[in-house]
Amino acid sequence: MTDDRALVFARIREALQTPRPLHGHYDGLPGPAPAENGKGYAAWLPRVEDTPSGRLLAFRERSELLKTELVVATRAGLAGTVQALQQRHGWKSAAWHRTRLTETAAGAAGLPLLSTDQAYETAALERVDASFTGCDALVAQTGSVLLTTRSAGGRALSILPPHHVVFAEASQLIADLPAAMRLLRERYGNDLPSMICLETGPSRTGDIERILVLGAHGPKKLTVVLVE
Amino acid sequence: MPALASVFQRDSAAYRRRGETRAFIRRALRGYEQKRDENKARFQDWQAARDAAAAIKHEAIEHLDRCLPEFIEKIEARGVKVFVAANGVRAKDYIIGVIRRHGAKSIVKSKSMTGEEIHLAQALEGEGFEVVESDLGEFIVQLRHEAPFHIVFPAMHLKRDEISRLFEEKLGSAPTDSPEELTMIARRAIRQKYCEADIGISGVNFAVAETGAIAMCTNEGNGRLTTSLPRVHIALMGIEKLVPRMDDLALLLPMLATAGSGQHLTCYNTILSGPRQPGEPDGPEEFHLVIMDNARTTLLADAQQRDALQCIRCGACLNVCPVYKNVGGHAYGTTYPGPIGSVITPHLRGLQSWKHLSGASSLCGACTDACPVKIDLHHHLLHNRRNAVRQHKTWWELLLFQGFGWVAADARRFALAGWIGRLAQPLHALVAGTPLDPLKPWTRFRALPEPPPYAFRDWWKERRGAEGGAHD
């Protein structure tokens, strides 16, 4: 089935023949968008102090509002932290993909594990209690986890199980959204992973009487383990 | 009066009588406004951010002839199958074709206003496919066979007990008055569908020309699941969804969330740039992107109102609109209610049939102030009124205004008319409110001002006389 692109492109070209007039009560047409790699936008977005402690403070504050559980661990204490989390949340099984940090976590948990590094069954992934993934970065400004198919073990691992546990190095905590876009460009260039997501807190809905309910379709819980 | 206008009058009058629902919606919108203001205040400069957001969308729309082909070329290079559709019928035919070719039975769908615009779910159900709306609000209104009440909060007009009864009847669940329990009932019902569905259909919030990627914002995670599990992903977008650069998302994503739902950022902001790539463990084998015109180029051709294509469908203009609050989302009878709907529907579906929506406005401008991309909404309502009259003149209005022009062009004629008016107005009291009253549509809701005892001109003449012609 050939599509209508020739027709639609022609309609667009014809429509744009008429220049847009100045209108209404505005001073004029908006100028060109700031194109300096998005750095211009940072000046208008919420302020974040771009130091390690400033970023951590902002991320902690956002996490509390979003109801994300933030756990700061040392590298040596990571195994113990994971065991404590497992007890608190009562995980009986988990799924994971291999990164330096998730490897330690998966070893410490001592649970039946499903890996998405190889082919896996969707139905089996749906039954696990938690998923352990890495990420590309944590965004202090918004409390988001920046993840991609490559940094978080594909598409389903971080969204299907009811509890998503993200492991990140302290050095992965970046200031704001423009920095996140820069990071993507620098890391992946023109070879973007097919899915990139800014995961901002556990899944939520307010569709019934605008009352917040966590765990609409995605994970009911989101834990970020920050390793210093 | 055209049929659609009287339907609008009837439905909005019916909604006005539902005081309890109106109060309930007002309360919900007040909650939204409070959250929105909190998050707006976190921006270092919300007004400058609006200017920049308007500039980004302006650039994309004004250069659509470059941006759209660039976007298509880039995303096709990523293995996405693009279909450009001139209208809704072509879009639906293509989508049905893809589904048939895969022998698919069950489809899971996340929210798409463009899909609502062409009644996609109903069309697919008509073809015998099972379609599940996965957004909770959309799921609820789908079970009720009803249109969304709002473009961001589809089921905001329903109370928990109505939803509980609906779930009881359609899903066989136990009654409950807990929104959390109701959400879990829907979660369980839809979960299974995700794992079984062959096709996932999603909407698009932004399309990035530079990289050939689409961005999609959901809170529930249904967008992520819809595009992760089924083996085919079909996304549907209008040609106006473009932004030039990936960096632009850094500004537009938080602005959409703040203006749209009073959040700082939507829970899942997902950027998709293809089907499963080599080395990725999962994801759809095929990704079809349908890019639809459906009369958007008509709006593009109207240079004066072209900025309405900058709309990012946040719904902020609905939330602040006194008309929306008083007539409700259903009375409009359009896919897009509220100010933005009143502005664009005449372009999408015919000015003469839909001009009444532009008349139903107080022109207070709250919508224009709320718009994160600075669409000049309330002036466009005026433009629609003007264009409707230009296109379709009414003989008696023409006569009236020509007559007024003739009277007003001459001082003596104007004075005479004023004198007759002052004499005649007391007579109006005799017929006021009766079927004989020629001004009834006006006086039904408004009182005529008291006739002044003398004209301004007489008063001025007298005053000048008293001052002994000091100004001469």
Shared-domain flag, residues B102 and B129: yes
Q: What is the DSSP string of A23-67?
A: -TTSSSS--PPP-STTHHHHTTSPP---SHHHHHHHHHHHHHHHT
Residue A42 structure tokens? 């940072």
CA distance A35 to B191: 42
CB atoms within 10 A of CB B53: 27
Considering the entire predicted model, what is its pTM?
0.92
Shared-domain flag, residues B311 and B268: no
CATH of the domain at A159: 3.40.50.10420
| Alpha-carbon distance B342 to nearest alpha carbon in chain A (angstroms) | 17
Per the CB < 8 Å rule, is A154 touching B283? yes
Shared-domain flag, residues B214 and B325: no
pLDDT in tens, B224-277: 999 999 999 999 999 999 999 999 999 999 999 999 999 999 999 999 999 999
**For residue B139, which of B193, B175, B103, B198 has the smallest C-alpha distance?**
B193
Is B52 among the domain residues? yes
The minimal CB distance from B86 to the residues A4, A19, A217 is found for A4
Chain-centroid distance of CA A168 in Å reads: 12
pLDDT score of A37: 45
Is B339 among the domain residues? yes
Q: Report the residue of A3, A11, A208, A221 to disrupt the B interface, i.e. the one with the largest count of B CBs within 10 Å.
A: A208
Shared-domain flag, residues B37 and B52: no
pLDDT score of B468: 60
pLDDT score of A25: 45
| Alpha-carbon distance A213 to nearest alpha carbon in chain B (angstroms) | 6
Per the CB < 8 Å rule, is A44 touching B248? no
Find all residues with CB under 8 Å of B278, minimum gap 6, and list them. none
Is B404 among the domain residues? no
3-state secondary structure of B282: coil
Shared-domain flag, residues B457 and B376: no
Q: Report the residue of B71, B264, B266, B291 to disrupt the A interface, i.e. the one with the largest count of A CBs within 10 Å.
A: B264
Instruction: Give CA separation, A97 vs A188, B6, B10, B102, B172, in Å.
Output: 20, 60, 59, 31, 38
Q: Report the residue of A217, A221, A222 to disrupt the B interface, i.e. the one with the largest count of B CBs within 10 Å.
A: A217
Per the CB < 8 Å rule, is B195 touching A176? no
Is A184 among the domain residues? yes
CA distance A153 to A134: 8
Instruction: Give CA separation, B23 vs B133, B326, B360, B399, in Å.
Output: 28, 10, 21, 44
- Inter-chain CB pairs, A–B, below 8 Å: 318
Is A191 among the domain residues? yes
The minimal CB distance from A192 to the residues B82, B245, B273 is found for B273
Domain count along chain A: 1
Residue A35 reports pLDDT greater than 60: no
**For residue A153, which of A99, A94, A92, A222 has the smallest C-alpha distance?**
A99
What amino acid is encoded at B278 in this protein?
Answer: P
Per the CB < 8 Å rule, is B94 touching A201? no
In sequence order, what E strands does chain A have?
Answer: 69-73, 94-96, 113-115, 130-133, 137-139, 144-148, 163-169, 173-174, 195-199, 204-205, 213-214, 221-227
Per the CB < 8 Å rule, is A177 touching B254? yes
Q: Which neighbouring-strand residues pair with A86?
A: none
Q: Which residue has the tokens 């210093």?
A: A228
Helix axes of B179-196 and B136-143: crossing angle, nearest 10 degrees: 90
Shared-domain flag, residues B134 and B13: no
| Alpha-carbon distance A194 to nearest alpha carbon in chain B (angstroms) | 5
The minimal CB distance from A210 to the residues B156, B195, B248 is found for B156
Shared-domain flag, residues B172 and B110: yes
Residue A85 reports pLDDT greater than 60: yes
Residue of B nearest to A67 (CA): B267
Residue of A nearest to B266 (CA): A200
Shared-domain flag, residues B69 and B37: no
Is B402 among the domain residues? no
Per the CB < 8 Å rule, is A122 touching B245? no
**For residue B311, which of B54, B39, B46 has the smallest C-alpha distance?**
B54
| Stronger pLDDT, B443 or A145, i.e. the higher one | A145
pLDDT score of B220: 96
The minimal CB distance from B283 to the residues A7, A155, A216 is found for A155
Residue B155 structure tokens? 């089921």
CATH of the domain at B240: 3.40.50.10420
pLDDT in tens, A151-204: 999 999 999 999 999 999 999 999 999 999 999 999 999 899 999 999 999 999
**For residue B453, which of B466, B442, B462 has the smallest C-alpha distance?**
B462
CB atoms within 10 A of CB B119: 15
CA distance B358 to B30: 25
pLDDT band at A24 (very low <50, low <70, confident <90, very high): very low
| Alpha-carbon distance A25 to nearest alpha carbon in chain B (angstroms) | 8
Is A1 among the domain residues? no
Residue B167 · residue B35 · CB < 8 Å = no
Shared-domain flag, residues B363 and B462: no
Contacts of B275 in chain A (CB under 8 A): 194
Angle at B347 (CA atoms; ends B343, B348), nearest 5 degrees: 110
Structural domain of B7: 1-41
Find all residues with CB under 8 Å of B176, minimum gap 6, and list them. B164, B182, B185
Residue of A nearest to B214 (CA): A195
CA distance A87 to A153: 24
> ipTM surpassing 0.90, yes or no?
yes
Is A24 among the domain residues? no
Is A19 among the domain residues? no
Shared-domain flag, residues B81 and B9: no
CA distance A203 to A200: 8
| Alpha-carbon distance B470 to nearest alpha carbon in chain A (angstroms) | 40
Q: Which neighbouring-strand residues pair with A137?
A: A146
**For residue B239, which of B77, B108, B83 has the smallest C-alpha distance?**
B83
Residue A39 reports pLDDT greater than 80: no
Domain count along chain B: 4
Per the CB < 8 Å rule, is B153 touching A155? no
Contacts of A211 in chain B (CB under 8 A): 179
Is A197 among the domain residues? yes
Contacts of A159 in chain B (CB under 8 A): 221, 224-225, 228, 268
Asked which of B345, B360, B391 is the last residue of a domain, the reply is B391
Shared-domain flag, residues B54 and B101: yes
List, for chain B, all residue ranges whose pLDDT scores fall below the cut of 50: 470, 472
In sequence order, what E strands does B170-325 have?
Answer: 199-202, 206-208, 213-218, 232-238, 242-243, 268-272, 286-292
pLDDT score of B472: 46
Residue of B nearest to A119 (CA): B281
Q: Is B176 left (phi over 0), alpha (psi -120 to 50) or beta?
A: beta
Per the CB < 8 Å rule, is B159 touching A209? yes
Per the CB < 8 Å rule, is A209 touching B28? yes
In sequence order, what E strands does B123-245 have?
Answer: 130-133, 199-202, 206-208, 213-218, 232-238, 242-243
What amino acid is encoded at B450 in this protein?
Answer: E
Average pLDDT, chain B: 93
Residues of chain A above pLDDT 90, percent: 85
Residue of A nearest to B197 (CA): A122
Phi, psi of A16 (to 5 degrees): -80, 0
Is A128 among the domain residues? yes
Find all residues with CB under 8 Å of A226, minimum gap 6, and list them. A56, A70, A71, A72, A73, A138, A168, A169, A170, A173
pLDDT score of B461: 87
Shared-domain flag, residues B30 and B74: no
Structural domain of A80: 49-227
Contacts of B94 in chain A (CB under 8 A): 1, 3
Question: Radius of gyration of chain B from Cα atoms?
Answer: 27
